[in-house]
Amino acid sequence: MQAEANGKIIELSEAGWLNNLDEWSEDLAVEIGKNEKIPELSEEHWDIIRLAREYFQENGTVAEPRTFSKLMKKLYGKERSDQKYIYSLFPTGLIKCANKVAGLPRPKGCS
């Protein structure tokens, strides 16, 4: 699978995960989002993407959903922290969708 961003073809896995994490860009995130049935990334999407990337950079691993919800609650309040909210923005949730759009590695056990 491939995506095009900034005039460059980027290789993705068969499931749409970024093969080379260093190739991630916001433009690529938009293209991966389209592959994930997200026609446009809103500021709410970007809040989740940025937080997921920040967590990964600080911890070397993607956040577990429960941990991520706690971080979201601390930053954005209860109404923007539960799994229902995240699924409303990312159709297959944090692990399968938001992390993919954020250009993070595929978590173990995730298709």
pLDDT number for residue 108: 72
CATH class assigned to 2-101: mainly alpha
Alpha carbons 21 and 85: distance in angstroms, whole number: 26
**Confidence tier at 102 by pLDDT (50, 70, 90):** very high
pLDDT in tens, 31-85: 999 999 999 999 999 999 999 999 999 999 999 888 999 999 999 999 998 888 9
Say what the pLDDT of residue 109 is: 65
Asked whether 2 and 12 are in contact (CB, 8 A), the reply is yes
Name the pTM for this structure. 0.91
CB 38 within 8 A of CB 86: no
CA distance 34 to 78: 28
Give the per-residue pLDDT at 111: 55
Q: Is there a catalytic annotation at residue 97?
A: no
Neighbours of 28 (CB within 10 A): 20
The one catalytic residue in 56, 67, 110, 111 is: 110
